Each structure stands twice: as C-alpha cells, then as structure tokens.
Amino acid sequence: MIYIDNHSTDANFNFALEKYAMYELDIAQEYFIFWRTSPTLMIGKYQNPYQEINMNYSKQNDVNVVRRITGGGTIYTDMNGWQFSFIVQNPSTNKIEFSKYTKPIINALDNIGVVAYQSGRNDLLIDGKKFSGNAQFHDNKVSLHHGSILFDTDLEALVRALNVEDEKIISKGIKSVRERVTNVADYLPKKISSIEFRDVMLKFLLEGMETYTLTKKDMKRVNEIKQEQFDTWEWNMGKTPKFNRTKEKRLAGGKLNVCSYVEKGVIKDIQFYGDFFASRNIEDLRDVLCEANYEKDSIKNKLIEVKADTFFYEIKLNEILELIL
C-alpha cells in the first residue's frame, strides 16, 4: 500500500484525488490518504441537499457543499477534523466490508490511549458516542473506503449547518448532538493540536508503507477532474432527486404558502397559496420561475427581473425568496 502525501484542504480537490487514484494512478494497486478540509458539508451520493442542509447558514459562513461518490448521510467537517481514504484497484471482492478498513483506525487510536470500537453499520464510537462515519464505493475495477474522524470539530457549527433554522430547535439539537457525538480530543491523556494528532496517527498507520508525492502532472490531472466534476453545480446540486418543498409564513401582507416541485435541481412547477392580496397575475410569476435552477442566486435574479414584490401587497422580495428556498 502506498501513502499519498496530500496537504490540500479543498474537499473538492481531495475527492478528485480519490478518483484519480482509483482509476488513473498506476504506481501501485492500493493507496491510503489522510486529509482534512476547510468547513465543508459532504452530502451522500443519493441525498437531496435542499432537505439535508441549512443553505442560508452554509452560504453566510462560507461552508463548502460537495457531493461524494459514496452513499450514506451528510457529514460536516472542518480543519479540526480528519478524513481517511483506502483505495484498492482490482479488488478480489466487491463486497461492502467496513471492519477491514476501520480496524487500522481503531488500532491507531488505541496506540495513543483512546478506546474506540465499531458499532452498527458504519460508525465508530468512543464511550457510546459517535466520532466517525464511513462509506464505500465499489465497481468491477476498484473499491473505495473513506471515513471521517471528529478530532476537535466545532459541534455547534455542525448542528447549525444542517437543515435547521429555528433557534429553539438548534439549542435542542446542540444538546442532543453533544449527548450522541464526540471529539477524539476529549479522550486524549493530554491536549494536542490537530496537526500533532495527524502526526501520531500516521506514525502508526504508515508503518511499512511507502510515501508518494504528487507530481506536477498528477496535480494538473487532479485539478481537471475537480473542475470537470466536483466543482460543478450539475454534480453537487443537479443530481438532486425529484422533491416537493412547501414553506409557509404569516407576513405583513398575509399568509403566504409556497409549494415548489424540483427535479434535477431545476424548478418544474411552483404554486403560491394564502390569504394575501395579489397586485398582478400570480401565474406570470410562476412562469418566470419555472426552469430556474433551484439555487439562491438564480431564483433571486429571476425575482428581481420580474419585480416579484409587485405581485403581492406588502410582501417583500426577500420574503418570497425565503419561502421558495
């Protein structure tokens, strides 16, 4: 197994690096990567980001959103969390098996005095609390296992970045998360930095491994994959399954209920209900919004273009936008 030395904190680049190692790198058949990212929400391949993520919080706080090629749930990670990837080309079996890849992580933690164990389908726990989620991808050419490690991650940011905006629910969510989720740093005999944690983990994990440093040619190709796939709206948002979203709020101009039907990240139908007073034909507003990307800037530009606030009595453009999203 070859360790790929990688210091990028861009999740999009790191997912592209995984794909490059899976299908194009030919220096070995097995690879290991240990990496971290700036604040990022990694959504599962089959998830709907609009139902999993607090989009407003993410944009306001520069939280990156990227879709994985693996299934499973959404995870939040930051510079005080770590990710690990095991890649096996031409595997002997395509069977999903988590323990084969989580065991080295458990052993490395045990080596620094932290007792961890696998629980359920794909989680790692300490003292009954989750600190790691894992996911896998398989085809007839390659197997990928990657997992997360909460080392000293901001758990409040984790809760706020998920699909909750009500402050009362957030407060309950933070309390609940602290009861179910934990950071490895809380169980270490002495306080160490995130980088020191990486170093002690790698000292154990890399025993017997060779290290490979990416060449300029490698970096160029990884960045191409990043731009072609993981940077694109089509991959991250456009793969969203069909869904209906309904939001309602009592405003100065009356109650407004907005029902959006979205397919592949594009508004296919949208209806406005309520006890508001309409100043213009609401069907004209619907027609303008249909086929718009279900994304804040795209929708906002459409609303500005058609002067959406003039359709309703005492209902502002930003209030309409909030109820669509």
The model's pLDDT over 275-316, given as tens digits with 9 standing for 90+, comes to: 676 777 788 899 999 999 999 999 999 999 999 988 887 889
Mean pLDDT value across residues 175-183: 76
Least confident range of 130-144, 209-223, 232-246 = 232-246
> Taking 70 as the threshold, does the pLDDT of residue 176 lie above it?
no
In this prediction, residues 75-80 reach a mean pLDDT of 96
> Fold for domain 2-236?
BirA Bifunctional Protein; domain 2 (3.30.930)
Q: Cβ(153)–Cβ(77) under 8 Å?
A: yes
Residue 214 pLDDT: 97
Alpha-carbon distance of 247 to 28, in angstroms, equals: 52
Structure tokens at 312: 């309703």
Find which of 51-60, 99-108, 231-240 is predicted with most confidence, using mean pLDDT: 99-108
CATH superfamily entry for domain 243-324: CO dehydrogenase flavoprotein, C-terminal domain (3.30.390.50)
Asked whether residue 38 carries a pLDDT value surpassing 90, the answer given is yes
Q: Is 22 or 274 the better-scoring residue by pLDDT?
A: 22
> What's the rounded mean pLDDT across residues 247-273?
87
- Over residues 169-188, the mean pLDDT reads 74
Q: Is the pLDDT confidence value at 166 over 60?
A: no
State the pLDDT at residue 105: 97
Q: Which region among 25-34, 56-65, 209-218, 266-275 has the lowest average model confidence (pLDDT)?
A: 266-275
According to the model, what pLDDT value does residue 44 have?
Answer: 85
Domain-wise residue ranges, the chain: 2-236, 243-324
Show the tokens assigned to 241.
């399954």
Q: Give the pLDDT confidence score for residue 173 in this predicted structure.
A: 52
Give me the mean pLDDT over the 81-98 stretch: 88
CB-CB contact of 21 with 1 (8 Å): no
Give the pLDDT confidence score for residue 245 in this predicted structure: 82
Supply 145's token pair: 């296992």
Calculate mean pLDDT across residues 165-184.
65
Q: Please check whether residue 273 is in contact with residue 257, taking contact to mean a CB–CB distance below 8 angstroms.
A: yes
The better pLDDT of the pair 135, 217 is held by 217
Q: What is the mean pLDDT of the chain?
A: 89
